[in-house]
Chain A
Amino acid sequence: MKLSDLATRLDLKVYTAGTPLERPVLGGYASDLLSDVIGHGRKDDLWVTMQIHPNIVAVAVLKELAGIVLVNGREPAPETLQQAEREGVPVLGTRLGAFELVGRLYGLGVKGS
């Protein structure tokens, strides 16, 4: 499923302007430890996290993730947003907690490894 379809179906807020939402999401990973995402995230995963630090953009670029969804209504730090737009990393958000969001993503066919 494409990121834009997931955003529509789960009513995700898109924070970044001009980042690619048409790319396919092939799986998902949920973690708040960036070292863990560096170790276990896979290309084209959608990453579910609470972390809003600018380093999340670098990790998404490094692992070629499809995008980042911030949970619990967390908003990206201003510098995070700037870097995400510069690097073309979609950053989205939801008021849902990680457990609920991951459950809904799974129901739409986005699965872990």
Chain B
Amino acid sequence: MELRRIRADLHIHTCLSPCGELSMSPRTVVDRARAAGLDIVAVTDHNTTENAAAVIQAARGTGLAVLPGMEMTTAEEVHILGLFDPGTELGPFQAAVYRNLPDVPSKKKFVKDQVLVDAADYVTGFSPRCLFGATRFSVQEAVDLIHGHGGLAIACHVDRDSFSIVSQLGFIPPGLRLEAVEVSPRLTIAEAREAFGPFDPLPVVRFSDAHQPEEIGRATTDFLVASPNLEEIRMALAGEDGRRIIPS
């Protein structure tokens, strides 16, 4: 099978995230992603997947691939990215996360509006949930839950001083079956390896963690794959069948 280079930014928030700009609507995300030359993106709001379907629909016919995902907050206040195939029925996954979020209403004063939207950017509602809260899932339980729904689990922005598996737990627990670790846009992968060690045996990716449109594509990872989809990215992270990360 012919392999080709694709450019991925698999950590993007929408207007549903408590810290996401209102302008992060499905059409804007798709337009900015295409303008940035991306082949595949993932919609990863804090503890919710509810805007992902709208972005997937908005991208239809554009050639941009969109994965549904979530940036889950664990009990240790570690952020773990869960990335899924668009065909996955995510209802049970989402329900498990909501059941394990604190039952504290979101305070408008400190968070943005948590806007639910459709594919044409119309507002369909506002999430009343405490999306910035930590779930009751341990890191291990979060990874298991993501894997249980066929997803990829990636530890987010491991170089940051907060919400990183390294800041919260000192080091990456041995035996935790992550597919990769992500470094934030503020460091290159080489700089991150120098600062934190090689992260072996885990592969390292770099995504934008965009909360506003200008940030989409500010950090990307290139993969050599047959096509831009979850299974190919899984194979590339595992280095299977010629699929791999292309060092930037």
Residues of B within 8 A of A (CB): 76-77, 138-139, 166-171, 173
Contact = CB atoms under 8 A, between A and B. Distances in A.
A38 B168 CA distance: 11
A34 interface: yes
A33 B169 CA distance: 7
B173 A34 contact: no
Contacts of B173: 53-55
A36 to B, nearest CB: 8
Contacts of A38: 170
A51 to B, nearest CB: 6
A76 to B, nearest CB: 12
22 contacts: A32-B77, A33-B168, A34-B167, A34-B168, A34-B169, A34-B170, A34-B171, A35-B166, A35-B169, A35-B170, A36-B167, A37-B170, A38-B170, A51-B76, A53-B76, A53-B138, A53-B173, A54-B173, A55-B169, A55-B170, A55-B173, A59-B170
A53 B171 CA distance: 12
The prevalent SS among residues of A at the interface is: helix
Interface residues of A, number: 14
Residue among B167, B169, B171 with max Cβ neighbours from chain A (10 Å): B169
Contacts, number: 34
A35 B138 contact: no
Nearest to B170: A34
B139 A53 contact: yes
Given A53-B138, A53-B139, A54-B173, A35 B167 contact: yes
A10 B220 CA distance: 52
Interface of A: 32-38, 51, 53-55, 58-59, 77
B138 A77 contact: yes
B138 A58 contact: no
A73 to B, nearest CB: 15
Contacts of A77: 138
Given A33-B168, A35-B166, A55-B170, 15 more contacts: A32-B77, A32-B168, A34-B168, A34-B169, A34-B171, A35-B167, A36-B167, A37-B170, A51-B76, A53-B76, A53-B169, A53-B173, A54-B173, A55-B169, A77-B138
Contacts of A51: 76, 168-169
A55 B167 contact: no
Contacts of B77: 32
Contacts of B166: 35
Contacts of B170: 34-35, 37-38, 55, 58-59
B218 to A, nearest CB: 25
Contact of A58 (B167, B168, B171): B171
Contacts of A32: 77, 168
Contacts of A54: 173
A51 B169 CA distance: 9
Contacts of B167: 33-36
A27 to B, nearest CB: 20
A33 B161 CA distance: 9
A23 B170 CA distance: 25
Contacts of B168: 32-35, 51
Nearest to A36: B167
